[in-house]
Amino acid sequence: MATVKSFKNHNAVSVESLAGKDFLTIADFTSEEINYLIDEAIELKKQQKEGVPHPHLAGKTLGMIFEKSSTRTRVSFEVGMLQLGGNAIFLSSKDIQLGRGEPIEDTAKVLSRYVDGLMIRTFAHESIEEFAKHASIPVINGLTDLHHPAQVLADLMTIKEYKGKLSGLNICYIGDGNNNMCHSLLEGAAITGMNIKVASPEGYEPDGNIYDNASEIADQQGGSVEFTYNPLKAAEGADVIVTDVWASMGQEEEQEKRIKAFKDYQVNQSLCSKADAGFIFLHCLPAHRGEEVTTEILDGIHSVVFDEAENRLHAQKALMKNLMNL
Ligand code: CP
Ligand code: NVA
């Protein structure tokens, strides 16, 4: 059974103020900043459980633009703002003028006059970069086709809670190497000094630039980045096993093709038997039981997926507290 470790937070690391910054990718921040946010998230979680009020964003408003579906991201950002004493406004792109062709530039400038931060879930990563360029308030990535950094911040927090540390751990990602989760995990693992191995089938390798950048960061942080086509090799000795859906949002029509391509990349008992005996299993959810992961593993004793989902709330509160506290 996976159990949470007790350990000392080392909030002592001093970081420059993050106020006003955007969070578009994990690599936008330094290793110190990411570690600081993780520790701050753990502290905010404790305060929330103990009923200690923490209204750091009283009177502030977060705008949330969604161009894709969401359960966790929408609810955790919205509840997070409420717990920080502020408000959140859900903006479906279908219902705002953006969906009828109003330029991103104008939308970003207008919303900057009303709200104190913008969370955006969209398709092309360039769209969120365009928002960030024209907004005068912090822009937070709630998932693009290329990155999902808010999820990975929560994943790193979850790993730290269970393993008591990040640096030096062996983590593997099995499945679609070319998606948002794998890309942000490559950066998150590298920046925290973990050793990450990615296993994907041919044609689904990670983006070359993101992979090379993660390798460089890993070198600086004393970790490593490796790619293999062999999932069993990637899982060998892993402390953490991560996977994600084989067809992401926007790839629904490729579902059948992808089921065939990924059939040997399922996280199941046989793959997990290669890992360290105390491994934990993470999945950002929603999951497709019987495809990328078996029910036995997803609902089994090594799985921490619901703590991981809960930690979206705490990690994003730490993020918003620091970015939006202007
Ligand atoms: N993991 C995640 O981002 O979930 P939602 O799509 O439900 O927001
Ligand atoms: N890779 C998945 C993550 C969902 C949270 C997708 O983009 O659909």
DSSP string, 302-315: TB-HHHHHHHHHHH
pLDDT confidence band for 14 (50 / 70 / 90):
low
Closest CA to 230 of 270, 274, 200: 200
Query: Do 269 and 299 form a contact (C-beta atoms < 8 A)?
Result: no
Name the residue of 75, 151, 181 to mutate for ligand 2: max ligand atoms within 8 A of Cβ: 181
Q: Which atom of ligand 1 is nearest to the CA of 285?
A: 1
- CB 245 near ligand 2, within 6 Å: yes
Strand order in the sheet with 139-141: 87-92, 61-66, 117-121, 139-141
Closest CA to 15 of 26, 31, 4, 3: 31
In angstroms, the CA 196 to CA 188 distance is 10
Count of CB atoms situated within 10 Å of the CB of 300: 15
Q: Is 151 a catalytic residue?
A: yes
Q: Which two tokens stand for residue 314?
A: 């705490």
pLDDT confidence band for 3 (50 / 70 / 90):
confident
- CB 61 near ligand 1, within 6 Å: no
Query: Do 239 and 278 form a contact (C-beta atoms < 8 A)?
Result: yes
Q: What is the dihedral of CA 93, 252, 241, 162, to 10 degrees?
A: 30
Ligand 1 mean position, distance from CA 70 (Å):
5
| Ligand index nearest the alpha carbon of residue 308 | 1
What's residue 12's pLDDT? 43
Q: Which domains does the chain have, with CATH numbers?
A: 15-148+312-323 (3.40.50.1370), 150-308 (3.40.50.1370)
- CB 213 near ligand 1, within 6 Å: no
Buried b (16+ CB within 10 A) or exposed e, 148-158: bbbbbbbbbbb
Q: Is 244 a catalytic residue?
A: yes
> Taking CA 168 as the corner, what is the angle to CA 164 and CA 170, rounded to the nearest 5 degrees?
95
Q: Catalytic pick from 244, 258, 302, 314?
A: 244
Ligand 1 mean position, distance from CA 288 (Å):
13
Buried b (16+ CB within 10 A) or exposed e, 261-272: bbeebbbeeebb
- CB 181 near ligand 2, within 6 Å: yes
**Which amino acid does the sequence have at 201?**
P
> Taking CA 73 as the corner, what is the angle to CA 152 and CA 137, rounded to the nearest 5 degrees?
85
Model confidence pLDDT, tens digit, residues 92-148: 999 999 999 999 999 999 999 999 999 999 999 999 999 999 999 999 999 999 999
Q: Is 74 a catalytic residue?
A: no
pTM: 0.96
Percent of the chain whose predicted confidence (pLDDT) is above 70: 96
Q: Which atom of ligand 1 is nearest to the CA of 249?
A: 6
Q: How far is CA 140 from the centre of its chain?
A: 12
Q: Is 147 a catalytic residue?
A: no
Ligand 2 mean position, distance from CA 241 (Å):
17
- CB 158 near ligand 2, within 6 Å: no
Q: Which atom of ligand 1 is nearest to the CA of 121?
A: 8
In angstroms, the CA 248 to CA 255 distance is 9
In angstroms, the CA 245 to CA 293 distance is 9
Model confidence pLDDT, tens digit, residues 259-309: 999 999 999 999 999 999 999 999 999 999 999 999 999 999 999 999 999
In angstroms, the CA 172 to CA 281 distance is 10
Query: Do 185 and 223 form a contact (C-beta atoms < 8 A)?
Result: no
Looking at every residue in the chain, the average pLDDT score rounds to 96
